[in-house]
Structure 1
């Protein structure tokens, strides 16, 4: 059928209430068909349905409506029965055949045709004002395979989205849409949508045995249709639910699922072929974190594709990271309370529009990371919570299911099908949308049974410990599956504790007896907290906190780290990065620049949230996004902000061109302190080394005074050094205190080395030096 533009779903019934009953369903066509042939000699009356079967069928509580509806041989011919609410008459039609069926009341029509076999028939359904001809949905075999059901039951269906949900397809030679949903506790399931006026009476689904999966193929139905599942709970009440596997949704606050078929033609083959050539641990990796809905408020995915890639490429970031894009009902959650795990949010366009944005970034040479949220889900009555009338995606114990921090529900990682739902979801984003990396949110809340819970409010694992063994197994399986199926993809953990082996391979067992979790990278929350705590202090007090900047090197190689200055650090009273700094406006900007220079030189990858690249002074708010007006040439402070943005561009380009800053990020031999104890001077100095031994010196002076002829011990095999970056450069808004070329190495012992150089350290600045 021709797809229609989606219409809004009917208002949601209260939990437990029956779905609203419309006046009459819509139908795939509105023209009266021209029929060939004549009725047979007579249509016999069918034996009536058993009262129990009839009652269950009409109540939406029958597990096998295909056993009651459709066509089957009986004594005397072929029995055809259909359930067509609001119809005045129904006839069976086929080439050379038109056979009226007898009304049995309540929308049931049946008859026995004098035929020996089942033809490829259709139903002529007549209403008061029109008639339609459609194939009978109940003459089709199941449109999902036994292997699909077996793999799902085993928890090993790695492309689950191809087996569950709504899929446009040709089945037994007829085009239509197959609907499948996992609801093992349901007494019955019906499909409702704009195609039947949200009345599922005539569209009951069949249960496919012990799999818990329900299925129905609706011929003639195509993409763009709105739908949900009407579920009869174990207690006989009804609930109408969005499809957990929906690949497209209505735009919130509307909540219906949308039948979707992708038509995007990818143009990023070169990127996909190359992205796995170099491990991220030994490659440049600097990330620009973006909240898509507010980066440029009001832009669609396709409009973002015309602006975001050029901006990110100009600034030299290697990757963007999207805050969650999966569908979520409340925009103020920033996407961290997901209801549509398989659907990009419809706020900015369709799934193909989102693919267009990813494609554009790849063609610009930019990798795409996205936040992925398998830690919890909201309690909305139309979504996953008690999906089929009992806890399904969440644990059965309410105390265990409730997430104490966010008012949400945790997933039951020990349930095979739930684990499969999540593992396949990770694969889905990487395979279907060409995502290059998943940043997994709130990993710590998954790993610990006592996370944010009081004494007595949690139950130990089978060994008496606090570790969530099911969550550990899930994360290991997810990581192993993604890395096996998707070469070049990296997984990144937001994990804030000292859990051992977050980025260790899953088959390597650590001191705690657990295999590694298998992530590629981990956010270094300790570095973030300590370093921000240091720069927020007045310079006169920083000497007492010197160790907060050096402590990160004690554990820098225990995991593979990302250094994150993320959205979490510039919102909800924490202030924007530049506003955290003490002093007047000049000192704040200078410290901001010095901190970025220190961050880019520190071992680990970099992540910076939007707006911080040009020293936005206000906290981020999702309602309006970055203060782009600060870069307007008519604004008198514009050079200050443009200078910081120019510095970020320079940092990224220097970083990418200097292997010493990334090639040995996970190798202790790639780092050496020159002087990590200069607390009285507020100075940090260290060396970074490339794989071939090429060095870079990073010097950071977090004091507001110039330090002339500041002597530093350096390797003796480099006779001359030159300055390649200085955050006090006037181009970046600095005061212009720089070092002349060349800086000659002298045979003067210092810092435990036999040779040294004397440099000028600008105030509140970071300087990088390389061999001349």
Structure 2
């Protein structure tokens, strides 16, 4: 016997209201759909286009709603009826039992809406996006999206055959947030928002706050809830106690998709920590891991700012990788790109049919270099979206540092623009004051919320105060941008230009290596040999060097020795640690086969790789090389003017006054009896010589200690005559109780650095212990 059919409600919506509902242009579908008291009873309306029948499963029995031709099913229940029910929706070939999402209150609270309107919601991802949750005992997923220019928003996905007619969302007021709770939907659901624009179009857009996406080229968002249990509590606690300015930091930069092509996040968690420990790096820096549609952008054109790329696994898989690195004593930095975003139709561009995340003025919206759009930093909600995104990666993924890409393009309104292609700020200047305010807010918020995290600017101009605190005014009275560190692009360009010259010409360009010390303490610097320097025809690092293969490698080694002893933190891009000769290819990755036993020059490449491991080891063991990176007291030239000799010599000191001498002979001749001044007498040991045979050098230097003579030289009370191998860098350190010479040691030796030296935790859940094999390259992990 069929259930009784409820009588039609006398409060049936008007044809105009029904039309807006069916067209996806109704701002408040919950006022029409669901259960509502009316004169004469309680009206129930359910919109299910394509359904043949809709039954109400109530406490008093099953009742049928009357069907309309437009897919709107309706009926009138008696007054006082409790609106708790389930639906059985009957289609031609199947029935579906579900709860009615239109009987639930909004899942976004008033405080959230207030903070969003104010642009102060520092955990925005907890309010917007998709969130599996239980409401009034019913499991489902809450969806919320900011689209203030939309006439209507509907939810589409694999659960409704990408037809959103039956899933309109409601507007929550003037703030522009749209919301819907859908019972029965859970993790793994693929979805988008269908946005009705004011000019009559329907757009399908991925969720800007999606925490998981489909793997490209698919573009849907995916409902996600994290179930990961972290094991890095000790790392985070100790990180917050140490100032990165006064700690060792040597960074290995890599592209996670091509370091070992084919490895997932979890497979990288086995291979990468072991390799980084083998080479003694303190940090790893990932090119952007956020979702991006075009792999050839290397992640620098982001479409999913809150989702790690699905190419390598799930968000929890990425957390597994970070956890493994932390438990191996490795800090994690990720590149972050708030400067621009791609124009792909499914993503942020003209998100609700009008400029939203980008400025309305095309002269400010269009990025002339990359064919992308810039963010509207003057809009509070957009600034909030980005500030919260920076916090998100630090809080949810335990990231230790954010390297902010293309800061210069954000700071200047005329960046890469000709006259007439840009508009000045309100004072007639070229500075983007909104971008300045955004960067200051981002840095201040991250440092306040995330102890121990460092932000790093890639800023290529002489902007004053990039690493000055936001509350510390400079010469112009304005506060700094608030970054912790800045890439030293001037040092990078000058030093690479110098080393690319034939040695016979270097004496005429001696200042290219000394000029960096003129401004070395104007900011807190990182010395970057990044991916940007080994692509687009620039050649690999070793290929930039002049001479034959032996001289190229010698220059390469000498350069690294000079770099590691120069004030500033260190950064080296993958492949350069073993002197690969080809540019980086994002599809092939590093040329690991150069280290194979059957490669003719394998020993040469292994030698450079061994040198990098030794540079990092000595660097961390000797505080003079890093403790006063930002203090002029930590550096003193011995001779900055030996241009005819192509020799650079200087001292590095720590807070206790202990010294290390660095001498680089950048001519292709061995120099004997070359005198340098030293601050103390006694025996001085060559703790590093880049010409050693184990590094691939000729072994022309002296391995025995030098006895400093009481002969004043170069402003120092003592001096010594050195043997300087051709194209080499030599480090000398006094032997004594104040700073002993520490021999090479294995991975399991006693370790002391408060960040770098955290041993692996053998009781850390199911994290795989990184391999301790001594091979030149990690072995691939089989998938299955």
TM-score > 0.5 by shorter chain: yes
1:655 aligns with 2:619: yes
Give 3-state SS (helix, strand or coil) of 1:215's partner: strand
The residue matched to 1:222 in structure 2 has which SS? coil
How many Å apart are 1:41 and its aligned residue? 8.9
Rounded to whole Å, the distance in 2 between the matches of 1:78 and 1:105 is 22
Name the CA distance, whole Å, in 1 between partners of 2:534 and 2:350.
36
2:398 is matched with 434
Taking the TM superposition and a 5 Å limit, the aligned residue runs for 1:459-498 are 459-498=423-462
1:365 aligns with 2:336: no
Aligned to 2:535: 571
The count of aligned residue pairs is 735
Q: Does 1:508 align with 2:472?
A: yes
SS in 1 for 2:89: strand
Q: CA deviation at 1:161?
A: 0.2
**Structure 1 residue 670 and structure 2 residue 630: aligned?**
no
Aligned partners of 1:711 and 1:47: how far apart in 2?
Answer: 100
Partner of 1:5: none
Q: Call closer, same or farther: CA 1:42–1:690 in 2, change over 3 Å.
A: closer
Alignment of 1:556-567 (within 5 A): 556-567=520-531
The corresponding residue for 2:682 is: 719
Deviations 1:193-237 (A, max 9, x none): 000000000000000010100000000100100000000001121
2:32 corresponds in structure 1 to 68
Structure 1 272/127 Cα, relative in aligned 2: closer, same or farther at 3 Å?
same
| 2:154 is equivalent to residue 190 of structure 1 | yes
Q: Report the alpha carbon displacement of residue 115 of structure 1 after superposing the two structures with TM.
A: 4.5
The question of whether the paired residues in 2 share the 8 Å contact of 1:299 and 1:348 is answered with yes
What is the rounded CA distance, in whole Å, between the counterparts of 1:41 and 1:698 in structure 2? 92
Confirm or deny that 1:211 pairs with 2:175. yes
Is 1:753 the counterpart of 2:716? The answer is yes
Aligned position for 2:563: 599
Kindly state the Cα deviation for residue 737 of structure 1 after the two structures are TM-superposed: 1.6
Return 5+ residue gaps in structure 1 as ranges.
1-36
Q: Kindly provide the CA deviation profile for residues 381-415 of structure 1, in whole angstroms up to 9, marking residues without a partner as x.
A: 11111100110000000111000110100000000
1:661 & 1:71 partners in 2: Cα distance?
A: 71
Conservation of the 8 A alpha-carbon contact between 2:359 and 2:376 = yes
Match of 2:662 in 1: 698
C-alpha distance in structure 2 between counterparts of 1:138 and 1:553, whole Å: 66
Q: Which residue of 1 aligns with 2:702?
A: 739
Q: What's 2:377 paired with?
A: 413
**Residues 696, 41 of structure 1: CA spacing in aligned structure 2 closer, same or farther, 3 A cutoff?**
closer
Alignment map for 1:57-136 (pairs within 5 Å): 57-136=21-100
Partner of 1:32: none
Runs of 4+ in 1 over 6 A off after TM superposition: none
- After superposition, the Cα gap between the structure-2 partners of 1:41 and 1:646, relative to the gap in structure 1 and judged at 3 Å, is closer
- Match of residue 284 from structure 1: 248
The CA RMSD over aligned residues, in Å, is 1.1
Residue correspondence of structure 1 range 211-290 to structure 2 within 5 A: 211-290=175-254
Find the aligned partners of 2:368 and 2:601 in 1 and give their Cα distance.
44
Structure 2 equivalent of residue 499 of structure 1: 463
CA contact (8 A) 2:6 2:65 kept: no
Instruction: Answer whether contact 1:73 1:117 (CA < 8 A) is retained.
Output: no
Contact 2:681 2:718 in 1 (8 A): no
Give, in whole Å, the separation in 1 of the partners of 2:545 and 2:209.
Answer: 46
- CA displacement, residues 53-76 of structure 1 (integer Å, 9 cap, x when unaligned): 011001000000000000011222
**Deviations 1:221-259, CA, capped at 9 Å, x for gaps:** 001000000000011211110101110010101100000
**Is 2:580 the counterpart of 1:609?**
no
Deviations 1:551-580 (A, max 9, x none): 000000000000000000011110000010
TM-score (norm 2): 0.93
Question: Is contact 2:5–2:66 with CA below 8 Å preserved after alignment?
Answer: no
Which of 104, 125, 130 is the equivalent residue of 1:161? 125
Which residue number in structure 2 is paired with residue 13 of structure 1? none
Show the 5 A alignment for 1:361-400: 361-400=325-364
Is the contact made by 2:292 and 2:302 (CA closer than 8 Å) also made in structure 1? yes
Q: 1:623 to 1:740 in 2, by over 3 A?
A: closer
Indicate how the Cα distance of structure 1 residues 327 and 740 shifts in structure 2: closer, same or farther if over 3 A, else same: closer
The whole-number CA distance in structure 1 between the counterparts of 2:310 and 2:79 is 49
Residue pair 1:44, 1:113 contacting (<8 A) in 2 also: no
Instruction: Mark the CA change 1:220 to 1:515 in structure 2 (over 3 Å): closer, same or farther.
Output: same
Tell me what 1:628 maps to. Answer: 592
Aligned to 2:310: 346
Q: 38-47 or 682-691: which moved more?
A: 38-47
Deviations 1:671-699 (A, max 9, x none): 00000100000000000001101100000
Distance 1:161 1:699 in 2: 52
Distance in 1 (CA, whole Å) between partners of 2:212 and 2:6 is 47
Match of 1:582 in 2: 546
Distance 2:33 2:712 in 1: 93
**Using the alignment, how far apart are the partners of 2:416 and 2:719 within structure 1?**
51
**Alpha-carbon distance, 1:42 to partner:** 5.0
Would you say the 8 A contact 1:38–1:98 is kept in 2? no
Mapped contact 2:498–2:512 kept (Cα < 8 A): yes
CA distance in 1, matches of 2:703, 2:50: 89
Identify the residue that residue 48 of structure 1 maps to in structure 2.
12
Cα distance in 1 for residues equivalent to 2:703 and 2:22: 88
Output the CA distance in 2 between the equivalents of 1:41 and 1:562.
74
> C-alpha displacement at 1:740, in angstroms?
4.4
Corresponding residue SS for 2:497: helix
The answer as to whether partners of 1:38 and 1:97 remain within 8 angstroms in 2 is no
- Residues 664, 236 of structure 1: alpha-carbon distance in 2 compared, 3 angstrom cutoff: same
How far residue 39 of structure 1 moved from its aligned partner, in angstroms, is 5.0
Task: Write the mapping of 1:321-336 to structure 2, written as runs, cut at 5 A.
Answer: 321-336=285-300
Check the 8 A contact 1:587/1:764 in 2, yes or no: yes
Q: Distance in 2 between matches of 1:463 and 1:511?
A: 18
Q: Secondary structure of 1:347's match?
A: coil
CA contact under 8 A between 2:681 and 2:710: conserved in structure 1? no
